Structure 1
């Protein structure tokens, strides 16, 4: 028994070990007011940011992410795709005469993304700032001492990029606006300093925070978002016969709030339908999508989404938020606070539910357990994929029970190793040379780590380990 305990301790020492000094984490509160110009795919934004420095360090600068500045020719994202060639993410490139060409290289000027900061202030005094593509460095007028709070105010303009990677306008299924990583977002500060990863296409990291977001947009649009809608009676889509309060420009005002999440994402389209259901002793679920023959499986998916949350709550720890939204948008599937943006047109029910389950399971390993996806993507993607297959085996049981429901994952990994392009799982998410190698290192190896650990210590003990991980690290980085 002692050997088993020692083995568990060894395997999880990197994850459950004592931190460098006393544990701390920063906290941020955003209050935003957004005015959307839907006809020009742009918006004007204002926000106040209450930032609490719980670290033992005095901060003289702060950093922000400006993700949309990556969506233009000659950006780091564009250059990476060019350098990777045919190994690049297929969503970021096209093939011309058998060669890979970055989609960003030829994006029209009026479809480039941008986040232009007009000003930022601390205590009503202008702050000096420098922007290097997707990272903004801000010099404080007054140092932010340990265990103290300050407030920044900011004004900016943004252009919604053509939908190429996750965020953007007019995705391939016709969703007008997929709004992810869309606002100037303060970077995470921890024991390793500022997490100032340039955005070149993969993962994100951020401090926990509260969001109070007001969005003004043409009254005909319906919004799905990761948060709680404060005024459903005044906007389209959430109640029958709403009293829509439009301003002189024909815009309705949407008010959203969310607490203790990593980011706030939303999507908007005039043709969205909103359906909802409730998990008993769990969250309210929203399904926001364009109804058509191509999205016919969404109706059948709703009760399976309920079962997914029930299984996850019972097995991996309780979902901590009041709601979750499955929103059609983006370019595949991507996890955000209290929601996912995902493609909605599916060939079959199991394919749609598989995507819903994977993105929903990220609420545990990317949100509540707040893995640093950029540094250790396998701890998020791998554990999420393990939970995904665990749940799917119960939602779609095979005709003949399998002794090991993860056998497909094992065989897939063995086959991949024969290609001789395997790369270490410990590499940063953006440092992989080959897209397939990144996927296997992050999704497959992380999953098989848990599969093999379960083989060694037993499934019952593994279940206890996963719950202990949740109990000790939920809502922490």
Structure 2
């Protein structure tokens, strides 16, 4: 209801509250600088977020010869590691990662996994409780120096310490050798990133070989040796170097690996080699190894071997896939003059999807990520279909298989496109911008998922992205706080891993780009971060500081709310007060007062008494002057008083009165605790609209309640808070004035679950074929 300045009548709307209290370490201090919560700037890492003038990092080059035994599903290898101490510290020992030991039957990963007995349990659940007695894990044969002398070593679960005869001084380098082997696990039944998948109808195997060789741990200015145990969730912290790797496999296998193939003429037949050369120049995928060729050799297992040689420069890891089931297609991609080979490897089970989409998606991903970060620096990018989802430099393992008739569901198609974008995108985070995945999952998964979202939307403007849109993170953020932890949580302690490190982090960055900073400022700052830390080891504060330094926007309040707390967004419109100037003109004000009085006297009693004859109505002799007196009729005295008032009024105030403005005071409350900008859409009586954006700093003096007055010439009929759902507000029922009912729907469903990346039941393609 509209009010005059002399009146006060509020329309009060109750604030909506949640039952549990989120973790909010900055209550009352949300606009203070992060200060001591971030590491102190120094000569290695500056207060601007850039590497310091004395920044350093270690380097490790590898020469590896490995054999894959397809009969025994076993890896045996020898490696020479050339390690460079570029730190200012002498090193008396070196630490290596033995990630395969995570599958050892005595692994801490199995010991610390909580378990319960339930009335109904699957065989897989029971096996996890019983454990396994397989001979898995790294088997170290020897560790020797460059002259072949034994070096003492100690294995501590997934880590190995090699003791040096004398300290490795700053600026010195060291060469040593490791000989090892391990039995490859069944990845489909045991899970995990690496292993084999068995195809019983062909007696064939598809291998994804990763975390497969003893690798140097990172030694840096922040942690010293990063030798935190590998427990399964937290991934890897790795050192850059050059790789020269020889991979011996059955001669009918096709190998996809990190780096450039050095001997294509030796491992391909003449026709395949010709196709390989054509593919380098082609703008569309060309099959180097065709579907028919793979079908012909499916059940013919070669007994001899071939050795594939790959080299890779300045990478942090090396992985490969091997199988006689691989179809192989490739095309060239021009990235501002830099030529890249985009390649896909996939079994016939994925042909209907991968042949059409995989390599095209790789090319699109490289173009998009290069635009937002740095130009893709490597010569190769590969997608391997392995019913999986995992990333390594220049190679990733993905999913996307059709049903037996070649059809697929839309969900499978879009899921495949998403996972290829995501895993190829990991070439940037963390393969190039080399964060510590063992500690901070969000620094690679969150940043990468954000860019995946941008890439999906640029692939298809109607693409059904599942992470990135603010509304999609709402169910997680308004959930039980007992099941939520801050994004800034160690990888092994994260609850709801995907929602936290992937979804929330990506959504936060999208909101930062679209709502808080704007695209121009955000994109420049994000690109600056990528340029500063390409081929280096950034920490969280390097990202936070760079985003502020390059944009000129103070974002400490944003990092506190989105990354350090579990507060959620829920801003409520509590009260709306409508005011207009008291004009003092009796011909305007008296009718308003009269109508207000009439409404105040209108109630159930007066309504029901309308047709009841009163005593005064029946006896005119009881009536006098006041029965016909109109207290709201304008009198000459009132007119004269108004003329005097206007004569004495300042010209600027006369102008204000003539504008006939409407003043709306809106009272807000911050129910969720996470301070955010206030975005309001006003709808006017003439059906026009206006959107007003207020920065988050409006909460700086009071984080819980704030009021703001808005002035319009037109009357407001409706107000909507966050009209485009861009802040992840968890309760939109309190976002409206007047209040609006927000409908919800529910359904009855029967759950059915298939393998990862595969559709279940009949899909629309099958139905369409049936009706042709």
TM-score normalised over the length of structure 1 = 0.86
Q: 1:103: Cα distance to partner?
A: 3.7
Q: Following the alignment from structure 1 to structure 2, what is the Cα–Cα distance between the partners of residues 382 and 470?
A: 14
Residue 431 (str. 1) matches residue 493 (str. 2): yes
Residue 186 (str. 1) matches residue 210 (str. 2): no
Residue 136 (str. 1) matches residue 160 (str. 2): yes
| SS in structure 1 at match of 2:100 | helix
Q: Following the alignment from structure 2 to structure 1, what is the Cα–Cα distance between the partners of residues 85 and 347?
A: 42
Counterpart pick for 2:313 among 252, 256, 259:
259
Give the conservation status (yes or no) of the 8 Å contact 2:259–2:312.
Answer: yes
Q: Following the alignment from structure 2 to structure 1, what is the Cα–Cα distance between the partners of residues 271 and 532?
A: 39
Tell me the residue number matched to 2:401.
Answer: 345
| SS in structure 1 at match of 2:507 | helix
Q: 1:176: Cα distance to partner?
A: 2.5
Residue 114 (str. 1) matches residue 178 (str. 2): no
Q: How does 1:9-408 map to 2 (within 5 A)?
A: 17=49, 22-81=54-113, 83=114, 96=121, 100-101=125-126, 103=128, 105-109=130-134, 112-124=135-147, 125-163=149-187, 164-170=191-197, 175-191=205-221, 192-202=223-233, 203-236=235-268, 240=272, 250-281=304-335, 282-292=339-349, 294-301=350-357, 302-329=359-386, 332-345=388-401, 347=409, 348-398=412-462
Aligned pair in 2 of structure 1 residues 9, 280: CA closer, same or farther (>3 Å)? farther
Give the conservation status (yes or no) of the 8 Å contact 2:362–2:383.
Answer: no
Give the conservation status (yes or no) of the 8 Å contact 1:409–1:444.
Answer: no
Q: 1:131: Cα distance to partner?
A: 0.9
Q: Following the alignment from structure 2 to structure 1, what is the Cα–Cα distance between the partners of residues 62 and 217?
A: 13
Aligned pair in 2 of structure 1 residues 452, 463: CA closer, same or farther (>3 Å)? same
Q: Following the alignment from structure 2 to structure 1, what is the Cα–Cα distance between the partners of residues 126 and 242?
A: 40
Q: 1:183: Cα distance to partner?
A: 0.5
Give the conservation status (yes or no) of the 8 Å contact 1:33–1:47.
Answer: yes
Q: Following the alignment from structure 2 to structure 1, what is the Cα–Cα distance between the partners of residues 55 and 530?
A: 17
Q: 1:349: Cα distance to partner?
A: 2.8
> Structure 1: 5+ residue runs without aligned partners?
1-5, 87-94, 243-247
Q: 1:252: Cα distance to partner?
A: 0.6
Give the conservation status (yes or no) of the 8 Å contact 1:70–1:199.
Answer: yes
Q: 1:7: Cα distance to partner?
A: 11
TM-score normalised over the length of structure 2 = 0.54
Indicate the structure with greater strand content: 1
Aligned pair in 2 of structure 1 residues 364, 97: CA closer, same or farther (>3 Å)? closer
Q: Following the alignment from structure 1 to structure 2, what is the Cα–Cα distance between the partners of residues 199 and 260?
A: 24
Query: C-alpha deviations, 1:409-429, integer Å up to 9, x for none?
Result: 422322113331111211111
Q: How does 1:415-454 map to 2 (within 5 A)?
A: 415-420=475-480, 421-432=483-494, 434=495, 437-454=496-513
Aligned pair in 2 of structure 1 residues 140, 386: CA closer, same or farther (>3 Å)? same
Q: Following the alignment from structure 2 to structure 1, what is the Cα–Cα distance between the partners of residues 34 and 534?
A: 19
Tell me the residue number matched to 2:527.
Answer: 467
| SS in structure 1 at match of 2:363 | helix
Q: Following the alignment from structure 2 to structure 1, what is the Cα–Cα distance between the partners of residues 123 and 306?
A: 48
RMSD: 3.0
Q: 1:153: Cα distance to partner?
A: 1.1
Q: 1:394: Cα distance to partner?
A: 1.4
Q: Following the alignment from structure 1 to structure 2, what is the Cα–Cα distance between the partners of residues 438 and 316?
A: 25
Q: Following the alignment from structure 2 to structure 1, what is the Cα–Cα distance between the partners of residues 522 and 392?
A: 27
Aligned pair in 2 of structure 1 residues 117, 304: CA closer, same or farther (>3 Å)? closer
Q: Following the alignment from structure 2 to structure 1, what is the Cα–Cα distance between the partners of residues 355 and 401?
A: 12
Q: Following the alignment from structure 1 to structure 2, what is the Cα–Cα distance between the partners of residues 274 and 256?
A: 17
* Aligned length, in residue pairs: 446
Q: Following the alignment from structure 2 to structure 1, what is the Cα–Cα distance between the partners of residues 466 and 173?
A: 47
Q: Following the alignment from structure 2 to structure 1, what is the Cα–Cα distance between the partners of residues 364 and 208?
A: 27
Aligned pair in 2 of structure 1 residues 148, 102: CA closer, same or farther (>3 Å)? farther
| SS in structure 1 at match of 2:138 | strand
Query: C-alpha deviations, 1:159-179, integer Å up to 9, x for none?
Result: 112212011122689752110
| SS in structure 1 at match of 2:242 | strand
Query: C-alpha deviations, 1:217-238, integer Å up to 9, x for none?
Result: 1111111112111011111489
Tell me the residue number matched to 1:90.
Answer: none
Q: Following the alignment from structure 2 to structure 1, what is the Cα–Cα distance between the partners of residues 60 and 137?
A: 24
Q: 1:19: Cα distance to partner?
A: 6.1
Aligned pair in 2 of structure 1 residues 317, 187: CA closer, same or farther (>3 Å)? same
Q: Following the alignment from structure 1 to structure 2, what is the Cα–Cα distance between the partners of residues 175 and 413?
A: 39
Task: Give the number of the structure whose alpha-carbon radius of gyration is greater.
Answer: 2
